[in-house]
Structure 1
Amino acid sequence: MRNCLLFLLLACCGLQVRAQDSARWRRNADTTLFGNSTVPTRSDYLDQFEEAFQTLNKVPLVTGSLIGIDQMQEKLNESDSAIAILKDRLNAGDRGQNIRNLQMYNTLLDALDKSMADYNTSLQGYASKLLGIKKEIRDMRKDTLIIKVFRDTALRAQFMPQLVQLRSKWKRADSLMKVSTARFNTLKAHVAGNSIIVEELLYQTDGLLRTVGVQVFGKERRFIWEPRSGGNTPTAAMQAGFRKSVDAEQRLAQYYFAITRNKRVWLYITGLVFYFWVWYNYRSTKKLDRMASLNMLGLRYLNPRPYTATLVLALSLAPLFDLHAPAIYIETTQFLLMLIVSVVIYKRLSRTLFYGWCVFLLLFLLLPIIRILGLPMFLSRWYNFVINIASILLGWYFLSRDASHLKAYKLFRWVVGLYVVFNALALLCNVFGRVTLSQILGATAVYALAQTVSLGVFVSVVVEAFLLQIQSSRMRKHYPEAFEIADISRSLRRFAMVLAIILWVIVFTTNLNIYDALNDILGIVFSQPYSVGSINFTLRGLVLFLGIIWVANFLQKYIAYFFGDTGDDAAFDDKGQRSRLLVTRLVLLILGFLLAIAASGLPIDKITVVLGALSVGIGLGLQSIVNNFVSGIILIFDRPLRIGDTVEIGDKKGRVKEIGIRSSTLLTEEGAEVIMPNGDVLSHNIVNWTLSNNYARVSLPFVIRKNADMDQLRPALVQVVKANHDVVERKEPEIVLGAITAKTVELRIYFWCKDFARVNVVAGEVRAAVYQQLEKMNIEVE
């Protein structure tokens, strides 16, 4: 009983203690952890303020990224000036409507239209940035926590520092956005307005060009002998028109050069590379004191400071880098080129030809002057009439009275004939009122003759530059000076002539005002899809494929010239270079083939089908061709023999002259060239005498009298052999006794020759030296 009461007393005490602990825990515990989680805390408000600050801080970054707007505005101001001039010129009536001016206006308007399109693209990027930051700001303004802080007095007092900072950032961001948006809208409206004007001017110019094309063979004006209605233009008005025309031409040219300078960057780079290429070759040859070796090349246009040659090259290539340049650019570059050519050919032409060339320069210069003057049509026709007559007389003089000077220039004589015919046609068209056609034919005649002369010098400059590269490389590698200049010059001249003909045709068709039409027609024809079975292709892709293959083949064929290797025996000993060139040629062919496939747009899956079909043909009749091709690749990379090695393949022995994709060539000691298919080369045992080195062991037998003192003879003969500089010093010569009779002893001298190709020469030299030594020692030789 006593124990039960004690247990109850302890239990009551325990419950009381637990109750006190529970009350104490309730007082100290944070009941918010288990309260309503939607009630924002101070931390939530601060996080929201931080997000707002980050959004507003983006505004200066976004508006600062629109820095290109300032440059765009400057360019638009320049374009405004050009557009104003073009509008004035297109509305000037007869003064600005000749064919050359219309072509220039069309080119400038195309450039302006492209510039406006680029500006619109840039503005769209700017617009996306502005819209993005505006959307973030709108989302920020809808934030409920920020709104609650502004509406609740207690919260506003609690977060007053953050609110002050927020207001400051808001004012700054709002100001930046207003200014940027206003500038952006103004600029966008400016670009849109200019785009509309340019489109209208393009439509007007295209219409005038179409009218010219339609009416070019029709009578546009009265006959030249018919009286003109109205009085003459006052002198003051003509002077004012001249100044205005010249100023407009200059401003249009400046604007064109400003917006198309990137087109000529590669032209400048080409000129600089050519200059330093020629300069380096002269410099390296001079350092080797081998300048006399260049005399055999007969260089006429190159010198150690090739300023004129570089200008001829750059100005000749100028039309290729800017196909749609304005008339003033073409006229300026062509006139500069003709002046430089005049300096170059001054001492190479007879006095009669050179004086005639100077007269031609004067007639050439009169054409742009008449165009820039903006003369009334009747005066312009009479000036062109006089120029046409003078041109016909000049050409006829050279074709008739001085034909002996042109016998060496067949192509030039043909172009002079074309010059006379075109000027005669221009004269007739001018007389009978076909003014536009007269302008076209006259300009074409002048530029055709000028281009022919300048491109003739251009071709010679290119050929001489390559010949200089070949000779300087040979001097640096210590090859012989002489090589087959005539054959190499012919092959290089063919390549340069192809490029010159392309340039000539571009300028010729541009002056005839048919370049754009031909370009459009050819573009349609070459883009037209054709199909053969299930394979679709275009002529453009086919031409690209064949063109790239031709270029790759040309490069692999002539790349050796850059390293002085012209295919002669001089480079046989440089086995490393020839092996690298062989691999380079193979890589060029493979890369050219892959690039041709990629550029042509031919479907790869169809090509695999064709290759699968070819495999059947291979199984039927092309085994030997494929075998030779694969064997050629194995020879190139496995290298059991190299160019310049002396080998024995079957019953053939000689030096490897060439390793091709299909066959290899051996040069025998008799000078014959043995062409062996690569499959046959690998199918035979190959004895390579010079695979690891060029050493060859030589054995010389001698029969002498038996009474010779061998103890003195051996060291004497060893010294005689070692005295020859073609004997390998680190391999000691050996003297071996052979057959011994009652009266004679056979001696065999073994030594190593440094160059396998000189074994016979060295053996003869050593044999003669041994005989002399034996005579000195009074030893008889049988």
Structure 2
Amino acid sequence: MNIANQIAYRGFQGAYSICLFLLFIHLTFSVNAQSKLRNGRSGYDQSLLADTNMLSTGDYLEGLERVYQTLNKVPTVTSSFTRIPEINNKLKSDDSTINLLKQRLSLNVSTFNLQNLQMFRTLLDEMTDNEDIYNEVILSYDKSLDDMKKEIAALRKDSIIRQIFTTKALRDSFSTQLKDLRIKRMGSDSLIKSTTVTLNELRAHVAENALSVQELLYQTNVQLKSIGPKAFLKEKRYLWEKRSSATDLKYPEFNQMLDSEQQINQYYFNNTRSNRVLLLFFGTLFFIWIFYNFRSLKNKGKMTILEDLDLKLISPVPILASLVLIFTMAPVFDLHAPALYIELTQFLLLLVLTGLFFKRIPREPLILWAVFVLLFVALSFVRLIGISPHAQRWFILFINLISTAFAVFALRKLKPIAGKYSILLIAGTLYMLFNGLAILANLFGRTTLMQIFYTTGVYALLHTVSLIVLLQLIIEAFLLQIKGSRMRKNYPDHFEWETIAKDFSKIITYVAVFIWIILLTAHLDVYDLLSNAVGSFLSTARKIGSFTFTFGGILLFLGIIWVANFLQKYIAYFFGETGDDTIENANAEHSRLLITRLVLLIAGFLLAVAASGLPIDKITVVLGALGVGIGLGLQGIVSNFVSGIILIFDRTIRIGDVVELGNRKGKVKEIGIRSSTLLSDDGAEIIIPNGDILSNNIINWTLSNNNIRVNLTITIAKPFDKEEVISMIKEIILANDHVFKRKTPSVIISPVNGKWSSAKIFFWCNLNNTDTPKSAISDAVFEKLAEMNIETL
């Protein structure tokens, strides 16, 4: 036992010694580590060993700096959410509008103005689009905030930062930094939480409004669809039937309805202003265009050159003309605008047209126009004073009867003097017809049809007059532009403007008729139906074999090509390039215009292909077929086309040059894509294919200058003093203003026979003016020789 006890005791001592030795080593390393930490010394870079204890003070400070930098990003990120207040305010405005629409849609459908129902739908569609924008913005903000949260969460996995927070010695060493960091973390957490709550509230608000908008949109569409069938049914009592009970002069909901409608209108204008800004821009541009051209002519003292144009409507300060453009096109830019807005703009249009017509049209048509204005005002007044619906029907019946009688009287008066504005007779007939239909609808209780018919009749006539006036204004402004451009280029004042005005008016008349049809269908409440039907027809894909196409794509393709051709045709007129007299003053601008025309055609074709959606592979097939056609029989056409492009860019000949092509001589009047035109001295126009021009020798008398040497031959009887005669002839030549002095004239006298000598006279002058100096010099030489008693033949 003693031996066993001794062995156990010795084993215990050995184990105890080993434990003391290990404890000593641990304490030694701990003291060394703390000493190195206090002294800030490290023999090598320990930053790579982030998972060990061998780190320097700099490593820990870098870790803390990363935390500071990350937390500092939080205010920066949240401050970039600049649209949160804007979205919040708009959502509050949406709330008010939604409540107003709920109140308005809860009223009886018979109290609605059809235009307002369409405006409600447009407004709700606009709110739906705005909600999509709000959601997109909120989603982007939410993503940025989530990225920020992930970046902060990633700091918790950083071993260096974790060691600082878990080691007491490190916490004590960096207590100041950790205290500041704790304050910053609390502020960042609070900012992130508040921003997250705000975004969630906004998202919920948008979702709630979206549900309300969809419900209101459904109700609006239901009521719009119900108006069509109900319009042909009996909505009210027959007008001659007695009412079952007396009603107040004003129906109770009128004031409430008017107030809510004004608020809805205000929201509409605040949230759908882009089109009206564009309209104001066009009106301002139109004003500047006319004002600039008048100002240019006035500054040059050339106002008298406008007398032959017979400008009736535009003036040097075209305020009324610009307002006609703005108010005429206002319904086009806002087809579903509030009824009050449409009535206001059209009333202002009536006033502007009245001011424009005053002292410009005969007295009798002006009186008829004034009556029409009064009838328009009477209709608007009856609808806005708030009388009972039954009394309103009687007033409207009375006005419709007067309007119908007025239309019959006006048509009889205007028929003999309508002339080229015979479309006014058509509009007057429609005015009479719609007023008659409104009377019938009113009598038989079809109040919706009554409203549609009388408003359509009034606006159809008004739009006809305003579009005719606008058409004339644009033509006059275009002719003024030509005059101004020609004046600035010192071209002759007169040009054949009647043909240009006639061609140009045909083009814009088509546009005016198209606009008139759009406005007519909008007032008849069939625009949406027709546009949807036409749009569906045009957008439906159709197949011919493997080729897929839509009629809309084809029409778009042809439309863009037509517009490009229209622009390239009339752009020269816009810069004053019209008539034969412009070739007398030809310069480099002609070539630039030709290049512009070519660019317009090519760009128009490429744009038409891109916009129409035609498959490129199919176009390649067409071009391949075209290549085969060229190889079989279109070489000449392609050759002339390519030659025309070469002539435009190479400038071998230019408009206004005097050239000789074989036995043909004349001035270049036009360089086209396929052929060019020469104007001979006899006035004949010689059309030459461009390929023939490049394939023949060209004599260009004006390629680098307009100088030409003129020669005269005079036969003089001997004897005479040769030197005296030569000196006398040179003096006469140099005294002529049309002769170029920088090139010395020459006189060569040579004997013909024993009695006569020949005097050949050479001098330089402008190619476009050779007859005047030639005649003057010849007369002066003969007179001088007669004074010297020298006989001539």
TM (norm. structure 1) is 0.92
- Summarize the Cα distance change of 1:513–1:149 in structure 2 as closer, same or farther, 3 Å threshold: same
Among 411, 414, 429, the residue aligned to 1:417: 429
Q: Which moved more, 1:566-575 or 1:506-515?
A: 566-575
Q: Which moved more, 1:436-445 or 1:415-424?
A: 436-445
How much does 1:36 deviate? 7.5
Q: Does 1:98 align with 2:113?
A: yes
How much does 1:441 deviate? 1.5
Q: Does 1:188 align with 2:203?
A: yes
| Corresponding position of 2:658 | 646
Among 230, 233, 257, the residue aligned to 1:245: 257
Amino acid at match of 2:215: E
- Summarize the Cα distance change of 1:729–1:318 in structure 2 as closer, same or farther, 3 Å threshold: same
Q: Which moved more, 1:527-536 or 1:255-264?
A: 527-536
Amino acid at match of 1:537: F
Task: Check the 8 A contact 2:491/2:585 in 1, yes or no.
Answer: no
Identity of aligned residues (%): 47
Task: Check the 8 A contact 2:332/2:519 in 1, yes or no.
Answer: no
| Corresponding position of 2:392 | 380
| Corresponding position of 1:682 | 694
Amino acid at match of 1:205: T
- Summarize the Cα distance change of 1:33–1:386 in structure 2 as closer, same or farther, 3 Å threshold: closer
How much does 1:106 deviate? 1.6
Q: 1:103 & 1:584 partners in 2: Cα distance?
A: 44
Task: Check the 8 A contact 1:220/1:435 in 2, yes or no.
Answer: yes
Q: Does 1:292 align with 2:287?
A: no
Among 646, 650, 668, the residue aligned to 1:634: 646
SS in 2 for 1:658: strand
Q: Which moved more, 1:143-152 or 1:478-487?
A: 143-152
How much does 1:634 deviate? 1.3
| Corresponding position of 1:362 | 374
Q: 2:392 & 2:154 partners in 1: Cα distance?
A: 69
Task: Check the 8 A contact 1:242/1:373 in 2, yes or no.
Answer: no
C-alpha distance after superposition, 1:402-434 (max 9, x if no partner): 644545631111110111011111211222222
Task: Check the 8 A contact 1:647/1:687 in 2, yes or no.
Answer: yes
| Corresponding position of 1:573 | 585
Q: Does 1:701 align with 2:716?
A: no
C-alpha distance after superposition, 1:151-180 (max 9, x if no partner): 322121012122112111112112212222
Q: Does 1:127 align with 2:139?
A: no
Among 521, 538, 544, the residue aligned to 2:550: 538
How much does 1:581 deviate? 1.0
How much does 1:371 deviate? 4.3
| Corresponding position of 1:56 | 71
C-alpha distance after superposition, 1:553-592 (max 9, x if no partner): 1111111122211132234322322121111111111111
Amino acid at match of 1:324: H
Mind listing any 5+ residue stretches in structure 1 that lack a counterpart? 1-27
Q: 1:117 & 1:523 partners in 2: Cα distance?
A: 25
Q: Does 1:454 align with 2:469?
A: no
Task: Check the 8 A contact 1:246/1:373 in 2, yes or no.
Answer: no
| Corresponding position of 1:7 | none
| Corresponding position of 1:732 | 744
| Corresponding position of 1:771 | 782
Q: 1:209 & 1:735 partners in 2: Cα distance?
A: 96
Among 764, 768, 772, the residue aligned to 1:761: 772
Q: 1:483 & 1:375 partners in 2: Cα distance?
A: 60
- 1:161-560 paired onto structure 2 within 5 Å: 161-233=176-248, 235=249, 238=251, 241-372=253-384, 376-400=388-412, 403-407=415-419, 409-560=421-572
Q: 1:427 & 1:627 partners in 2: Cα distance?
A: 68
How much does 1:546 deviate? 0.8
| Corresponding position of 1:39 | 52
SS in 2 for 1:482: coil
Mind listing any 5+ residue stretches in structure 2 that lack a counterpart? 1-35
Q: 1:305 & 1:402 partners in 2: Cα distance?
A: 31
Q: Does 1:620 align with 2:632?
A: yes
- Summarize the Cα distance change of 1:282–1:31 in structure 2 as closer, same or farther, 3 Å threshold: closer
How much does 1:370 deviate? 4.3
- Summarize the Cα distance change of 1:776–1:570 in structure 2 as closer, same or farther, 3 Å threshold: farther
How much does 1:465 deviate? 0.6
C-alpha distance after superposition, 1:265-315 (max 9, x if no partner): 221221221111111111111111111111111111111111111111122
Q: Which moved more, 1:571-580 or 1:291-300?
A: 571-580
How much does 1:452 deviate? 0.7
- Summarize the Cα distance change of 1:30–1:347 in structure 2 as closer, same or farther, 3 Å threshold: closer
SS in 2 for 1:693: coil
Amino acid at match of 2:165: F
Q: 2:227 & 2:381 partners in 1: Cα distance?
A: 22
Q: 2:550 & 2:383 partners in 1: Cα distance?
A: 42
SS in 2 for 1:732: coil
How much does 1:624 deviate? 1.1
How much does 1:37 deviate? 7.0
C-alpha distance after superposition, 1:334-383 (max 9, x if no partner): 21111100110122333332232222222223444444456554333323
SS in 2 for 1:757: coil
How much does 1:643 deviate? 0.8
SS in 2 for 1:611: helix
Task: Check the 8 A contact 2:312/2:360 in 1, yes or no.
Answer: no
How much does 1:210 deviate? 0.5
Task: Check the 8 A contact 1:463/1:489 in 2, yes or no.
Answer: yes
Task: Check the 8 A contact 1:242/1:372 in 2, yes or no.
Answer: no
How many residue pairs are counted as aligned between the two chains? 751
C-alpha distance after superposition, 1:456-497 (max 9, x if no partner): 110111011111110011111111111011111112212332
Amino acid at match of 2:723: D
Q: Which moved more, 1:421-430 or 1:399-408?
A: 399-408
Task: Check the 8 A contact 1:647/1:689 in 2, yes or no.
Answer: yes
Q: 2:43 & 2:60 partners in 1: Cα distance?
A: 21
- Summarize the Cα distance change of 1:608–1:152 in structure 2 as closer, same or farther, 3 Å threshold: same
SS in 1 for 2:75: helix
Task: Check the 8 A contact 1:353/1:405 in 2, yes or no.
Answer: no
- Summarize the Cα distance change of 1:522–1:374 in structure 2 as closer, same or farther, 3 Å threshold: farther
Q: 2:382 & 2:147 partners in 1: Cα distance?
A: 57
Amino acid at match of 2:473: V
Amino acid at match of 1:46: L
Q: 2:99 & 2:386 partners in 1: Cα distance?
A: 18
How much does 1:691 deviate? 1.0
Across the aligned residues of Structure 1 and Structure 2, the Cα RMSD in angstroms comes to 2.2
SS in 2 for 1:227: coil
Amino acid at match of 1:54: Q
Q: Which moved more, 1:559-568 or 1:756-765?
A: 756-765
| Corresponding position of 1:13 | none
Amino acid at match of 2:778: R
- Summarize the Cα distance change of 1:564–1:142 in structure 2 as closer, same or farther, 3 Å threshold: same
SS in 2 for 1:674: strand
